[in-house]
Amino acid sequence: MATFFDRFRNLLTKNAQQTADEYNKAIYNWLGESIVWNPENDTTYINEGYRKNATVYSLINIIAKAASSIPFQVYEKVNDNDYKRYKAMNNGTLDSSVMHKANYLKKKALVELHDTDLHKLLERPNPAQSYASWITELIAFGKLTGNRYIYGIAPDTGNGAGKYKELYVMPSQLIEIVSGGIMQPVKEYQIEYNGQYKIPADQICHIKDFNPYFDGSGSHLYGQSPLRAGLRSMTTNNEAVQTGVKYLQNQTARGVLMSDEGDLNEVQAQQLKDKFRKNFQGSDNAGDVIITPKKLSWVNFGLNASDLSLIEQYNASIKDLCNIYNVPVTLLNNTESSTFNNVKEAKKALYQNCVIPELNKIQDELNRWLAPQYGDKLCIEFDYSVIPELQEETEKVVDQMAKAWWLTPNEKRSAMSFGTDEENEILNEYYIPANLIPASGSDIELEDPQPIAEEKKNPISNIEVKESIEIKASYNDYPQSATNNAKRVKNWIDEHGRNEVDGMTKVGLARMNQLIARESLSLSTLKRTFSFLSRTKGGGYNKINPDYRDTPWRDKGYVAFLGWGGQSMLTYAEKKLNQLDE
C-alpha cells in the first residue's frame, strides 16, 4: 500500500508535469512535430559580416583572441553556499575589492584538481583542434549568429560509456531545431550539409543569446544575433566602403571649362588647357585669384568624397558596431582617442564588458551539460587573474592584503591564488602590528563590564571558539598503516625509478613524504587528502588493475591512492572531519 509520503510525492510530480504542459501549450501553440525554422538569416551575418566587413571581422577577432588566452581550471565544490556567493561576485565588474573577496570565497568553496579526464578533454577537444582554436570557433559563431552548438561524442559501451571523449563546434548557420511537438519542443538537431544528419538533443549543448521574439512557432528557441540589431549599421558600413571604391574607380576630370562667347576649336581648347596648367596649377598658385579677359563657365562632373559624407557615415557605423559588441572603438586604431592611458582603459573595458561575460555564459552552460558527467561536484572556472589589464587591480589587492593584519599569511596567499604553504605551520598564525594595543592598555577609561546572565550569552561565541580550534588544529595521530602505504610507494620509486612509477604528482610526492616523516597535518591538508582519496576510490583506483597485478607500481591510479595513505588514511580523515561537523 502506498504511504502518505508516496501519494504526496506523486501529487507534486503530477502537478509539476501539468504545469509544464500548460506552459508548453501557451508558448508553443503553433509548434508541430517538424523543423523549427530560424527567422534569422545567419548566412548573411557570416557572408556580409565576417567575410566582407572589415569592422565586423576585426571586432570578432579582438574578442575571440582575448578570450582564448584565458586559461580554464577544474575544481571540486566543497561549499555550495560560498560557491554561489563567489559566482555572484564574479559575474559583476571586477575591481580590486571584488577580486579580493571573490578569490577568498573561491578558496573556501573550491578545491583545485589536476590532470582529470575533464582537463584532458578540454585541452584537446577533438583530434583536429586545440583548446584555443576550439574556444575561438565557439565564441566567433556565437558573436555572429547568437547561437553556439557543441556536439559531444561518447562511447556507448565500456568504462567510459556516456562520457564525452570528443567535442566539436557545429556551424550554427547550418543547424536547425527539430521539434517533437508541444510536449517536447526540442527533440533533436538537424544539420544540412551534403545531406541531412539528425543528432539527439542531449548530445548538443546549445548556448544561445537572449531572443525576445515569441511567435508561437518556437522562433525564440534560437538566439538573436547581435548583427540582427546592427544590420543597418553593418549595411551602411558596407555601402560606404563600396561607394568609396566606386568613386575611386570612376574618377574622371573634375569638370568642363567652357567659353560663353563662342565655340573653341580643338587647337584653342588644348592651348587653353595648357595655359591653365602652366599658370594656375601647383602649390605656388594655391589660393590665388584667376582673372580672364573672356567670359567662361564651369560644369562640375560629380561630388567629392566630403560632399557625399562618406567618411562621417562610415565612422558612425563603426561606432554603432562597436557598441553592439561592447568593444571600445579605441581598439580599432581610432587615432582621435588612442592615447596610452585611453588604450589601457579600453582594454580593461573590453575584458570587463565583453570577454568575461561571454566566458561566464559558456562556463555556466558547460557546468550544466558537461561537468556532471565527470563528477557531481566538479565545475569549470576561468582564471581571470591572469589578465594583464587587470593586474593594476591585483596591485591594489596586494596593498589591501599587506594592511589586513586580521588575516593569516596563508589566507592572504589563498586570496592571491598562490595556494597555502602547508610546510610552514607558522603561516597560519595572526601577525598584529606592534602599534596596535588593546583598549585596556591605553589611557582611555572604560566602564566596568556588566555581568551577563547565563541564559543571555551569545551563542555565536561557541562558533568562534570552534573556528579558532579548527584554524590551529593539527593531526599527527593518523594510523601507521597510512605511513606504511606511503613507504611502499617510496620503495617502488627507489627501486624502479620515477619513469617507471609514474602515478605521483609533485603534490602527491609532498604528501607521501609528510606521511613517511609522520609530520602533523593541518586541517586544510586533511580536507584535501580526504577529497583526493574519495575521488580516487570513486574511480576504482583503490584496487589494483588486473592488467598490473604482477607490476602494481605501473598502475598510476593505485600508486596515487597508496601514496596519499590509502584506505586507512581515507577512513581516518573521514572520521576526523565528521567530528568537526558535530
pLDDT in tens, 203-240: 999 999 999 988 777 888 999 999 999 999 999 998 88
Give residue limits of the domains in the chain: 404-447, 474-581
* Extended beta strands in 118-210, E state: 147-153, 166-170, 175-178, 188-192, 196-200, 204-208
Rounded to whole angstroms, how far apart are CA atoms 150 and 344?
34
pLDDT in tens, 462-514: 444 444 444 456 788 898 889 989 999 998 898 888 888 888 888 889 899 99
Burial of 564 (0-12, 13-18, 19+ CB in 10 A): buried
Cell 555601402 found at: 239
Q: What secondary structure does DSSP assign to 30-76, as a single string?
A: T--SSEE---S-HHHIIIIIITT-HHHHHHHHHHHHHHHTS-EEEEE
The grid coordinates of residue 356 equal 568575461
Q: What number of H helices and E strands is found in the chain?
A: 21, 14
Q: What secondary structure does DSSP assign to 504-560, as a single string?
A: --HHHHHHHHHHHTT--EEHHHHHHHHHHHHHHHHTTTTS--GGGSS-GGG-HHHHH
pLDDT in tens, 279-337: 766 666 666 666 666 676 766 655 565 555 777 888 899 999 999 999 999 998 876 65
- In the DSSP assignment, the letter for residue 129 is B
Bigger pLDDT: 63 vs 253: 63
pLDDT at 434: 66
pLDDT at 68: 96
pLDDT at 282: 66
